[in-house]
Amino acid sequence: MIVFEKPKALTDAPMHYCPGCTHGIIHRLVAEALEELKVTGDTIGVAPVGCAVFAYNYFNCDMVEAAHGRAPAVATGIKRADPGKIVFTYQGDGDLAAIGTAETVHSAARGENITVIFVNNAIYGMTGGQMAPTSLPGQVTQTSPYGRDTATVGFPVKVCEMLSKVDGATYLERVAVNNVKNVRAAKKAIVKAFRNQIEGKGFSLIEVISSCPTNWGMTPQQALEWIDTNMIPYYPLGVYKDKYGEAEK
Amino acid sequence: MEKVLMKGNEALAEAAIMAGCRHYYGYPITPQTEVAAYMAKRMPKIGGVFLQAESEIAAINMVIGTSAAGKRTMTSSSSPGISLKSEGISYLAGCDLPALVVNVQRGGPGLGGIQPSQSDYFQATKALGHGDFRRIVLAPASVQEMASLTFLGFDLADEYRMTVMILTDGTIGQMMEPVSLDFGELCEAVKDWATVGHKWERKPNIITSLSLQAEELERQNLERYERYKVVEENEVRYEEYRMEDAEICVVAFGVCARVAKNAVNAAREKGMKVGMIRPITLWPFPKDVLKKAADKCHTFVSVEMSMGQMVEDIELAIRCKRPVLCCARVGGMIPSPDEVLAKLDEAAKMGGTAE
């Protein structure tokens, strides 16, 4: 009896992610969701610019690679062309919460019937560890070498909190993938975000608190602990909006 | 089909619909607003999509999405908005996606003004975004051409998998003329590359402009330029006017060509041997016909609403064999027939010095 196998919604391509990076887990959760909902063959994913730029090599569905921050606009164009298809974006924090803020807010405001997977690891990973819109106050990065000074560069953007005030948004939940319990909750949230789309309920965004051991300068284990001790206190997990009031507890 | 009286911008929009475009994405900017307003009215009635985006950048990226999904789509804007779209236009090129982009030009640089201009000539023909790529640039000179070149533009975009730009201005966009909307057969390209879901019947389609292997990226660029070569061979379009015995050749496109035509007629009445070549495609530029004209014409006169931007292309086409004068008004001003005529008089005096 097979009790565990790779979802067919993932290809066999070896992933390029660093050791201890949680992108692989999140990819798998998205793939499992597509498979469980039996929509892989009708799905078009939109990859970001950032560490997940090569997501199109890993997801076994049709994929479009968008310009930095523009994934929700590209997804809008795909969904409007073919409303019967399932369309998701997979974006990092620089992509979604800095250069693509307008596209994020307005696709939510329009209630665009898409699913957004937002990976928040509080750093620009691909370019080598610069300060992200979600870097924590005091966090040391390549471009905040003395720690993020909120007096000069301001505060992190809390995406779920911000979008919870947008009438058009349907479902917003923040999850993490640093332990088994959290991974299970993340899976549930991601499935729900896709199910919402299938049911025509509108814009769902799942913010996944993720680790970046390489650019945080930690071991994978330390990075997972840092999520508990630093990230989650600043970015509390939970459902931030549920228009249809059916959040699974 | 009988002719109807329409505004240029509206004729363009209706022609796009007739070409099968059901997805329009735009952002308000003067003087192209009629296109968006027309689409907003028409699209919901025919099961199409009109979407006012949050920015020009978002609009062109929505175009990318719909084009990736295999559907005919377009956006329109005016000069400052086109600068914002240039990122997306580069991605369209890198992804080899077809799209129609309309620039109803206004005077610049910066916010400039809102009066007609041709000052985006360089941008449209040379550098509409980063990277090595070309796009077809069509320059209508009448309301009829606003419609027929738009219809043609969608076919060309699909055939060569590239962006086609309609480069026009507020004058052509807002003038009313009788127009025939009979364009003949609608070509429907097979788009087996489109991202529409693989249904487990094929491998995933991937649309991307990223290529980190230098050899591979070079190969893609070379392949693209092979395609552009075919475009240059097959798609050059121009109009010759009274060129049979011309000794002076006027070169003008769009609204300037209309003004220049009057000046050519006036010059002919004075006994001057003047003709005009009107590029309809600004890229590919009608190089060969100009080069041939340089055998007989001693002087060329570029009439344009930019600071001689087209002069360089004329000089290149004729290998600098003859002098090229420029009759330019800019900032929203349109050259008058008298101004063109004065420049033609100047050109006539150069007749003896050319050879």
- The CATH number covering residue A121 comes to 3.40.50.970
Residues B226, B244, single domain; the answer is: no
Residues B302, B174, single domain; the answer is: no
Cβ–Cβ below 8 Å for B58 and A59: no
B192 CA: distance to closest CA in chain A (Å):
12
Query: Which DSSP letter does residue A10 get?
Result: B
**In order along chain B (355 residues), what is the average pLDDT of each group of 10 residues?**
92 97 97 95 98 98 98 97 98 98 96 96 97 98 98 98 96 95 89 98 98 96 98 98 98 98 98 98 98 98 98 98 98 97 97 55
Cβ–Cβ below 8 Å for B204 and A62: yes
Chain A residues within an 8 Å CB radius of B208: 47, 56, 63-65
Cβ–Cβ below 8 Å for A64 and B199: no
Could you tell me if residue B338 is inside a domain? yes
Q: Bridge-partner residues for B241, per DSSP? A: B276
What sign results for the dihedral spanned by CA atoms B53, B54, B58, B59? positive
Nearest Cβ partner of A76 from B57, B62, B198?
B62
A86 CA: distance to closest CA in chain B (Å):
9
Could you tell me if residue B201 is inside a domain? no
In the numeric block, which tokens belong to residue B283?
């890229």
Cβ–Cβ below 8 Å for A80 and B58: no
A230 CA: distance to closest CA in chain B (Å):
34
Nearest one of B239, B229, B228 to B261, comparing CA atoms: B239
Residue A76 belongs to domain spanning:
23-242
Nearest Cβ partner of B197 from A42, A57, A74?
A42
Could you tell me if residue A10 is inside a domain? no
The pLDDT-based confidence of A45 (bands split at 50, 70, 90) is very high
Residues B136, B42, single domain; the answer is: yes
Could you tell me if residue B154 is inside a domain? yes
Cβ–Cβ below 8 Å for A70 and B208: no
Nearest Cβ partner of A102 from B55, B69, B209?
B55
Average pLDDT of A61-66? Answer: 98
Question: How far is residue B104 from each of residues B20, B172, B215, B277, B343, measured CA to CA in Å?
Answer: 21, 9, 39, 22, 27
Cβ–Cβ below 8 Å for A77 and B88: no
Could you tell me if residue B332 is inside a domain? yes
> What's the confidence (pLDDT) of residue A1?
85
User: What CATH number is given to the structural domain containing B258?
Assistant: 3.40.50.920
Chain A residues within an 8 Å CB radius of B54: 102-103, 105-106
Chain B residues within an 8 Å CB radius of A82: 69, 71, 196
Count of A-B CB contacts under 8 Å: 136
In the numeric block, which tokens belong to residue A79?
């969904």
Q: How far apart are CA B242 and CA A164, in angstroms?
A: 67
Residues B43, B127, single domain; the answer is: yes
Nearest Cβ partner of B209 from A42, A65, A85?
A65
**Which residues in A have their CB inside 8 Å of a CB on B?**
11, 40-44, 46-47, 53-54, 56-57, 59-67, 70, 73-82, 85-86, 102-103, 105-106
Residues B58, B145, single domain; the answer is: yes
Nearest Cβ partner of A61 from B62, B70, B198?
B198
Could you tell me if residue B200 is inside a domain? no
Q: How far apart are CA B29 and CA B108, in angstroms?
A: 14
Residues B297, B218, single domain; the answer is: no
Respond yes or no on whether ipTM tops 0.95: yes
Q: How far apart are CA B281 and CA A100, in angstroms?
A: 35
What global pTM score does this model have? 0.97
Residues B175, B136, single domain; the answer is: yes
Residue B105 belongs to domain spanning:
4-187+207-234
**Which residues in B have their CB inside 8 Å of a CB on A?**
23, 25, 49, 51, 53-55, 57-59, 61-71, 73, 87-88, 91, 95, 195-201, 204-210
SS3 A64: strand
> What's the confidence (pLDDT) of residue A248?
56
Residues B302, B222, single domain; the answer is: no
Q: HSE of B149 in the Cβ direction (CA atoms, 13 Å)?
A: 29
Q: What is the pLDDT of residues A138-157, one digit of tens each?
A: 999 999 999 999 999 999 99
Residues B36, B177, single domain; the answer is: yes
Cβ–Cβ below 8 Å for B69 and A40: no
Residues B269, B151, single domain; the answer is: no
Residues B324, B341, single domain; the answer is: yes
Cβ–Cβ below 8 Å for B208 and A47: yes
Nearest one of B98, B130, B59 to B207, comparing CA atoms: B98
Q: Bridge-partner residues for B101, per DSSP? A: B75, B165
Q: Mutate which of B39, B56, B64 to test chain A, going by most A C-beta atoms within 10 A?
A: B64
How many other CB atoms are found less than 10 A from the CB of residue B327? 25
Nearest one of B191, B186, B222, B221 to B205, comparing CA atoms: B191
> What's the confidence (pLDDT) of residue B354?
43
In the numeric block, which tokens belong to residue B310?
């087209």
Nearest one of B134, B322, B321, B167 to B256, comparing CA atoms: B167
Contact B134, B198 (CB under 8 A): no
Q: How far apart are CA B348 and CA B342, in angstroms?
A: 10
User: What CATH number is given to the structural domain containing B9?
Assistant: 3.40.50.970
Chain A residues within an 8 Å CB radius of B56: none
Cβ–Cβ below 8 Å for A81 and B71: yes
How many structural domains is chain A composed of? 1
Average predicted confidence (pLDDT) for chain A: 97
Dihedral angle over CA of B81, B112, B307, B283, nearest 10: 10
How many structural domains is chain B composed of? 2
**CA end-to-end distance (rounded Å), chain A:** 31
Cβ–Cβ below 8 Å for A77 and B25: yes
Closest chain A CA to residue B22: A81
Residues B40, B179, single domain; the answer is: yes
Cβ–Cβ below 8 Å for A73 and B62: yes
Could you tell me if residue B136 is inside a domain? yes
Query: Which DSSP letter does residue A200 get?
Result: T
Chain A residues within an 8 Å CB radius of B95: 64-65
Could you tell me if residue A158 is inside a domain? yes
Cβ–Cβ below 8 Å for B204 and A60: yes
Q: What percent of chain A clears pLDDT 90, i.e. is strictly above it?
A: 96
> What's the confidence (pLDDT) of residue B355?
44
SS3 A20: coil
Q: What is the pLDDT of residues A116-127, one digit of tens each?
A: 999 999 999 999
